[in-house]
Amino acid sequence: MMPRRLETQQLWDWRAAAYLFLAGVGSGSTLVAMAYAFLLDSYSAVTGTGLIIGPFLVILGSLFLFLDLGRPLLCYLAPCRPGHSWISRGFLILSAFIILSFIHTALWVWPWQVMEEGSSVWWAFGAVNGILALLTAIYTALLLGTSPIPLWNTPILPILFLVSSVSTGIAAIVLVTVHVLGMNVPSEEVSFLLQADGVFIVMEMLLIVVYLYGMKLVTAAKSSVMNVVSGKLAGAFWIGLVGIGLVIPLIMEWTGDWALLPAVCTLIGGYLLRHIVVKAGIKMPLSAQGIIIPIPGKN
């Protein structure tokens, strides 16, 4: 019997991680913006910022995805098989989200009588936009699940990515609204957003524990988990994701009025989460008469 060989996947690289991150932040920003608008029953600077940056980040992330697919010039074929391909379904979801977000933003800047702010049609439009943002955030994980990588084939991953998208979306809105645009946002609104982000960070921590523990129990994914917690990715995981991306912003958001550093740290953690998940993927080998045959990947 030949010794077992487990190969780290080569199908996805940093460009995939960049897509997962940017699409997550973009969809999360829009989702937070719409939830905030429904909560306050009005639109504010927070809502406007989320609506504006959301589609731009998703577009930027999609460019990285097409570059990583290997044949970007054939991207026009992407929507042709929605019944059989998650790439096609994702293309339609992303396209609908981007188009609707731009229309929604335009109607906010240049209101139309039938869809003026506060009307039932306006809120219905916002609800659909929020649903598309939710689907976009979840799709980032479903796309990974189409590959024969045990670490990626779990229903926990879409939930983890969704929670991370909301957290990074809050961070992006605070960072852009307060520190980039310098808008005069009431301190109580900023404090509310940071406190909410703290809740989502705690949820993210719990989901990461459940995710890694559950995957460790899966024989085919155990090597991936060990690589994360004690292997080559341990530094990025413990220092980068856990320390900088989760613990530091959680402590600062719940114990003080800081906004800049927690937002930056949260965004760093959001990228590292996706980078680690992508890099830790190990291809499931095929077994034939006791011989382990690695699945070939893209070079």
**Domain residue spans in the chain?**
14-293
CATH architecture of 14-293: Up-down Bundle (1.20)
**Better-scored residue on pLDDT, 140 or 71:** 140
Residue 187: partners with Cβ closer than 8 Å, 6 or more residues away: 257
Q: Residue 298: count other Cβ atoms within 10 Å of its Cβ.
A: 11
Q: Which of 49-58, 202-211, 286-295 has the lowest mean pLDDT?
A: 286-295
Question: What does DSSP assign to residue 209?
Answer: H
pLDDT mean across residues, the chain: 83
Question: What does DSSP assign to residue 232?
Answer: T
Q: What are the tens digits of pLDDT across the range 74-129?
A: 454 555 555 556 677 778 899 999 999 888 888 777 766 556 666 677 778 888 99
The Cα-based distances of 297 to 8, 12, 60, 67, 272 in angstroms read 9, 9, 26, 17, 23
- The pLDDT assigned to 104 comes to 81
pTM value is 0.87
- Name residue, tokens 């690589």: 227
Q: Are 250 and 206 in contact (CB under 8 A)?
A: no
Q: What are the tens digits of pLDDT across the range 196-226?
A: 999 999 999 999 999 999 999 988 899 999 9
How far apart are the C-alpha atoms of 242 and 229, rounded to whole Å? Answer: 11
pLDDT of residue 296 exceeding 70, the answer is no
How far apart are the C-alpha atoms of 263 and 178, rounded to whole Å? Answer: 11
How far apart are the C-alpha atoms of 98 and 27, rounded to whole Å? Answer: 10
Rg (CA), the chain: 20
For the chain, give percent helix, strand, coil, nearest 5: 75, 5, 20
How many angstroms separate the first and last alpha carbons of the chain? 27
According to DSSP, the residues that pair with 287 across neighbouring strands are 292
How far apart are the C-alpha atoms of 290 and 299, rounded to whole Å? Answer: 26
Mean pLDDT of the region 11-22: 88
